[in-house]
Amino acid sequence: MSEPYYITTAISYPNGKPHIGHAYEAIAADVIARFQRMSGRDVRFQTGTDEHGLKVYQKARDLGREPRDLADEMTAHFVAMGERLNISHDRFQRTVDPDHHRASQEIWRRMQANGDLYLDRYEGWYSVRDEAYYDESELIEGEGADGRTEKLSPQGTPVEWTAEESWFFRLSNYADKLLALYRDNPDFIAPERSRNEIVRFVEGGLKDLSVSRTSFDWGVKVPESDGHVMYVWVDALTNYISGLGFPDDSEEWRKYWPCDLHLIGKDITRFHAVYWPAFLMSAGIELPRQVFAHGFVLNRGRKESKSEGNVTDPLALADTYGVDPFRYFLMREIAFGQDGSYSDEAIVTRANAELANSFGNFAQRVLSMIFKNMDGKLLVDYQQTDDDRALTAAVANGVAELRRNFDDLAFSDGLEAWMRAVFACNQYIDEQAPWILKKTDPERMQAVLMTCFRQLRPLALALRPVTPVAADKLLDQLGMGEARDFAALDDATWFEYLAGSGFALDKPEGVFPRLELATAVGE
Ligand code: ME8
CA of 358 to the centre of ligand 1 (A): 34
- What are the angstrom distances between the C-alpha of 332 and each of 163, 201, 210? 47, 32, 41
Cα(180) to centroid(ligand 1), Å:
28
pLDDT for 146 equals 76
Cα of 462 vs centre of ligand 1, distance in Å, is 28
Which of 8, 22, 298 has most ligand 1 atoms within 8 Å of its beta carbon, as the pocket-test mutant? 22
Is a pLDDT exceeding 90 seen at residue 304? no
Q: From the alpha carbon of 265, which atom of ligand 1 is closest?
A: 24
Q: Which amino acid is located at 297 in the chain?
A: V
* Ligand 1 centroid distance, CA of 182 (Å): 23
Tens digit of each residue's pLDDT (9 = 90 or more) over 147-194: 788 999 998 999 999 999 999 999 999 999 999 999 999 999 999 999
Q: What is the C-alpha separation between 141 and 151, in angstroms, rounded?
A: 5
The CA 22 to ligand 1 mean position distance, Å, reads 6
The predicted-structure confidence for 209-259, as pLDDT tens digits, reads as follows 999 999 999 999 999 999 999 999 999 999 999 999 999 999 999 999 999
Question: Given pLDDT bands bounded at 50, 70 and 90, which one contains residue 518?
Answer: confident
Residue 378 has what pLDDT?
97
**What integer pLDDT is reported at residue 302 of this predicted model?**
86
| pLDDT value at residue 117 | 98
Q: Considering only CA atoms, which residue is closest to atom 29 of ligand 1?
A: 22
Query: For residue 4, what is the enclosing H or E element?
Result: strand 4-9
Predicted confidence (pLDDT) at residue 522 exceeds the cutoff of 80: no
Atom number, ligand 1, closest to the C-alpha of residue 12: 22
pLDDT of residue 62: 96
Strands 209-210 and 117-127: unpaired
The interface predicted TM-score of the complex, written ipTM, equals 0.99
Query: Do the beta carbons of residue 87 and residue 318 sit within 8 Å?
Result: no
Q: How far is CA 189 from CA 92, 292, 382, 386, in A?
A: 25, 6, 52, 46
pTM to 2 decimals?
0.97
**What pLDDT is stored for residue 226 in this prediction?**
96
Nearest CA residue ID for atom 9, ligand 1: 21
Confidence of residue 311 (pLDDT cuts 50, 70, 90): confident
Higher pLDDT, 285 or 145: 285
Q: Ligand 1 within 6 A of 395 CB?
A: no
106-117 tens-digit pLDDT: 999 999 999 999
- 229: three-class secondary structure by DSSP: strand
Phi-psi region of 222 (alpha: psi -120 to 50; beta: other; left: phi over 0): beta
Q: 307 pLDDT exceeds 70?
A: no
Q: Measure 157 CA to ligand 1 centroid, in angstroms.
A: 15
Task: Judge whether 489 and 400 are in contact, CB under 8 Å.
Answer: no
- pLDDT at position 294 over 60: yes
Q: For residues 71 and 13, give the distance between their C-alpha atoms in angstroms, rounded to a whole number.
A: 8
More confidently predicted of 336 and 523 = 336
Q: Residue of the nearest CA to atom 16 in ligand 1?
A: 12
Of the pLDDT bands very low, low, confident and very high (cuts 50, 70, 90), residue 279 is very high
CA distances from 268 to 6, 21, 130, 308, 356 (A): 20, 13, 9, 23, 37
CA 382–ligand 1 middle distance (angstroms): 55
Q: What does the pLDDT read at residue 42?
A: 98
Q: Is the dihedral of CA 493, 494, 495, 496 positive or negative?
A: positive
Residue 407 has pLDDT above 70, yes or no: yes
Q: 380 C-alpha to center of ligand 1: Å?
A: 52
Q: Is 264 in the pocket of ligand 1 (CB under 6 A)?
A: yes
Atom 15 of ligand 1, residue of closest alpha carbon: 21
- pLDDT tens column, 48-96: 999 999 999 999 999 999 999 999 999 999 999 999 999 999 999 999 9
Ligand 1 centre from 132 Cα, in Å? Answer: 14
| Per-residue pLDDT, 523 | 47
181 lines ligand 1 (CB under 6 A): no
Task: In whole angstroms, give the CA distance from residue 279 to residue 237.
Answer: 9
Mutation test of ligand 1: which of 9, 50, 231, 339 has the most ligand atoms closer than 8 Å to its C-beta? 50
Q: Which residue's alpha carbon is nearest to atom 13 within ligand 1?
A: 21
DSSP 342-380: E-HHHHHHHIIIIIIIIIIHHHHHHHHHHHHHSTTB---
The b/e string for 118-150 (b: 16+ C-beta within 10 A; e otherwise) is eeeebeebbbbbbbbbbeeeebeeeeeeeeeee
Helix, strand, coil share (%) of the chain residues, nearest 5 = 50, 15, 35
Asked if 61 and 69 touch (Cβ cutoff 8 Å), the reply is no
| Separation of CA 359 and ligand 1 centre (Å) | 33
Q: What does the pLDDT read at residue 55?
A: 94
**DSSP β-bridge partners for residue 209:** 169
Q: Is the pLDDT of residue 306 over 80?
A: no
Is 25 a pocket residue for ligand 1 (Cβ < 6 Å)? yes
Atom of ligand 1 nearest to the CA of 237: 19
What is the sign of the dihedral through the CA atoms of 135, 139, 145 and 150?
positive
Rounded to the nearest integer, the mean pLDDT of the chain is 96
Q: What tens digit of pLDDT does each residue of 337-384 get? A: 999 999 999 999 999 999 999 999 999 999 999 999 999 999 999 999
**pLDDT reading at 493 higher than 90:** yes
| Distance between Cα 161 and ligand 1 center (Å) | 24
Beta strand 140-143 with 212-213 is unpaired
236 in ligand 1 pocket by Cβ < 6 Å? yes
pLDDT digits (tens, 9 = 90+) for 417-467: 999 999 999 999 999 999 999 999 999 999 999 999 999 999 999 999 999
- For a ligand 1 pocket test, name from 25, 74, 92 the mutation site with the most ligand atoms within 8 angstroms of its C-beta: 25
Ligand 1 atom closest to 22 (CA): 29
pLDDT band per the 50, 70, 90 thresholds, residue 521: low
For residues 103, 55, 194, 211, the Cα torsion angle rounded to the nearest 10 degrees is -50
Q: Which long-range contacts (CB under 8 A, 24 or more apart) does 176-179 make?
A: 177/278, 177/281, 178/202, 178/206, 178/274, 178/277, 178/278, 179/203
Cα of 420 vs centre of ligand 1, distance in Å, is 33
